[in-house]
Chain A
């Protein structure tokens, strides 16, 4: 073969359309599934992001706090875009813009310049520093850098600069969230513990939850109870701010004074055992009052446990209004249960969500079949196993830890289900399997305003039941033959 330029050419690749068709069919088979599950050193279609993303979300949850990524400038851009796409809100964060010089000489100068510039430009009350890959590999000592910055005068005396090590090559966004929260609370509460003082308030931790509707729902529940609270890392006003024609860099977040005083709280409750595990260990040692950790209140039973815990912590009865709400949730489930009964589901997502989704499905008489977590643990596996074992509807359930969405695709093709619960990244697998995907997790890039409707609590149960059952009814209306198309469903 040749061309008019006289160049030596290789033959065009010998892959025929038949080869391509064969592979397209083969990846749906049991044989491929076995090969797929033998895969070790490779992730295809990951269902989790890296640590700094979680750290940034957490930092946004504090008032007048600027997140600062110590590392390459592009990293900051990725986290910001991810949050932009999910919330459709601005997410201002800065970086130390490390370049080749930084890689060779360390990132101290970059960090100092970043602190100085960020203070001048954005006038924050606190700068929360966290790391991406590069400084972690070259061994930057961020703690020392910040001390030196104070000595050099880049940072005024007393200005708060909590920092967390959040290398992208280990853990996930959930771990990054935990590390940043711990660092921020340690910094804010330093020297604030007062013997004999009690704020009388509940400190509340929601973990890596990017549903602003959930935050509002928690607050509404506390108000119904009449429980005063400090919501730690409260992103609700930051990522669901009213549109009044003004752009604000810091539209909300937990007031720093309240967060500092949280160490003298009456009680501290986390509903994210996985995303606040390190933080809660530290809180138990340092914070006054009682401490408790519960699973996220998804489904009726877990919400009941949440209500009872609030009642117990503050010695207040569950208010009649919430009891009535429970009744309405059960009524909504009753009215809808025939549409979900026996339906087979695949469920994937963050550790704090997964158990809740499964518990909710079991309550509805649906069958969770594939349970997948791309950054799981033995503890999570045990928790999910216990849930499945506790219900006859759990018998078909299989648990897959540290598997990705390409594994999930194989499962959907070889052992089909009726629907998936997860987040946007699963949409390709859902389409190939021709089943609906319910977007209850993070991130949601392809639907509007879903992050504003709560899925926690009794109201959340009603929302999830409504979304799922109506989708099944829609599918019936859209796909049935004319003779089966009826007024009533």
Chain B
């Protein structure tokens, strides 16, 4: 398989080397004419806010934008399911010519009256940005009448990258935070930022903190509730998991409310333990720390034998990963290393320069590192680097499969919780199941070269 790396893309790919650290060019718009794996700005804002389950989410635009992002993220709710309804103002030619403000206002009033949401988010799409509807004015008008927050999220698809959409979502959350009553919030309290309760992961993490005696005031935004978010400014510490999407919010809350933040990850047992200890440290309570120690040692001794069993089958395998943000990539490199798997290809859709420097530091010599890659590049590196298992999202899965390579979904559409200690074990099992499946031996390219394992 031969391909020419596009001139514009050469600076976005490096082969890792301790001797000559090359800075990766990143955080720029996708090259025209290249098959990008990225989504748009609007999508960035939508995936961050979507898990808030008792809010109304109205997409102001043509029907497609709502259709494609309907239930786009497996974000679970323990109660209301309002977020799973896909609402669109269904803009057509008439609105393109005469404007869509009237239609938006009528839609908003109807939906709020009928679904009694605790807040409403109105997403702008490309059309709105180009024709110039005054979405904030409509939101303001409706908000005054209906008495719930109605928040414009202006992240039109063509304005920048998905990361800019995350920023817009953080802005929308800031409009809610600080408007609730913080009476009763305990001194040992946190907000969990950047967990979206995919496959129930927020529930796992929340359970750990509760056991440690730490109150989780709000999760932004997994299993999210408007009233919890409104009082998030009462928490003592912000614990940021998905740093790519939530760092702007953490910084703004630090400035506005003086809440410090730490960056953590709950992927892999090392990172999970580290996250719990660092959070406990910030609570200045020997009791909380004591509970954290007890929890960590109990959980690790629970999963370690099974992790070792997985490692037996996985040792020496080679992995590739392509994920949304760089922080998840760091965790995955460490988690895989613990399973005896080396990462030989690593990339992200939206990593920043500092993040890539850190990724280069954490990766082995000769690992190929890519920013905003495309299928041909990926396919070529997967073969060249002789990858056994690939970790990515929906658009990468069929490429891995076509090459006869195992695949583990670590994106919005995963259905198995991979966070925390039990998640680390689930991850190890999933990687083992796919990397050692007998089906790969049926494929000409890899015939009879894959060691299979039954596992348990």
Interface residues of A (CB under 8 A from B): 1-5, 7, 9-15, 19-20, 23, 27, 32, 35, 39-46, 48-50, 52-53, 68, 71-78, 80-82, 84-85, 87-90, 92-100, 102-103, 110-111, 113-122, 132-134, 137-138, 167-170, 241, 243-249, 406, 425, 428
Contacts and interface: CB of A to CB of B under 8 A. Distances in A.
B40 A425 contact: no
B288 interface: no
B80 A246 contact: no
Contact of B38 (A68, A74, A96): A74
B89 interface: yes
Contacts of A95: 30, 32-33, 36
Nearest to A49: B67
A389 B398 CA distance: 46
Interface string B128-170: 0111000000000000000110000000011110100000000
- Candidate in B84, B131, B158, B443 with the most chain A CB atoms within 10 angstroms: B158
Given A42-B103, A78-B39, A247-B1, 13 more contacts: A1-B183, A12-B227, A43-B87, A43-B89, A46-B63, A72-B157, A74-B38, A74-B157, A78-B43, A78-B68, A134-B127, A243-B402, A246-B1
Contacts of A90: 375, 395, 398-399, 402
B372 to A, nearest CB: 10
Interface stretch (B90-98, B193-201, B291-299): B90-98
B157 A243 contact: no
Contacts of A247: 1, 375, 379, 399, 402-403
Given A13-B148, A72-B126, A406-B85, A93 B35 contact: yes
A13 B6 contact: no
Given A44-B85, A121-B6, A13 B178 contact: no
A177 to B, nearest CB: 14
B233 interface: yes
A377 to B, nearest CB: 15
Given A13-B227, A99-B159, A169-B91, A81 B394 contact: yes
Contacts of B85: 44-45, 406
B86 A46 contact: yes
Interface string B96-124: 10000011001100110011101100000
Interface string B36-51: 1111111100000000
Contact of A76 (B36, B234, B394): B36
Contacts of B15: none
B181 A74 contact: no
Contact of B158 (A19, A53, A93, A98): A98
A241 B398 CA distance: 11
B6 A74 contact: no
A19 B116 contact: yes
Contacts of A45: 70, 85-86
12 contacts: A7-B233, A44-B87, A49-B67, A80-B395, A87-B398, A103-B158, A120-B6, A121-B33, A137-B96, A169-B91, A243-B401, A245-B445
A81 B1 contact: no
Interface centre among A102, A114, A169 (most CB of B within 10 A): A169
Contacts of A80: 35, 395
A245 B446 contact: yes
A269 B335 CA distance: 57
B305 interface: no
A137 B127 CA distance: 7
Contact of A13 (B127, B147, B183): B147
Given A84-B394, A103-B129, A5 B233 contact: yes
Contacts of B114: 23, 27, 32, 35
Nearest to B86: A45
Nearest to B440: A245
Interface residues of B, number: 97
Contacts of A11: 181
B107 A97 contact: no
B19 interface: no
B397 interface: yes
Contacts of B316: none
B445 A246 contact: yes
B130 A134 contact: yes
Contact of B40 (A5, A73, A121, A170): A73
A48 B90 CA distance: 11
A121 B110 contact: no
Given A13-B226, A134-B126, A94 B34 contact: yes
Contacts of A116: 33
Contacts of B398: 84, 87-90
Interface in B54-101: 61-70, 80, 84-93, 95-96
A42 B107 contact: yes
Contacts of B92: 169-170
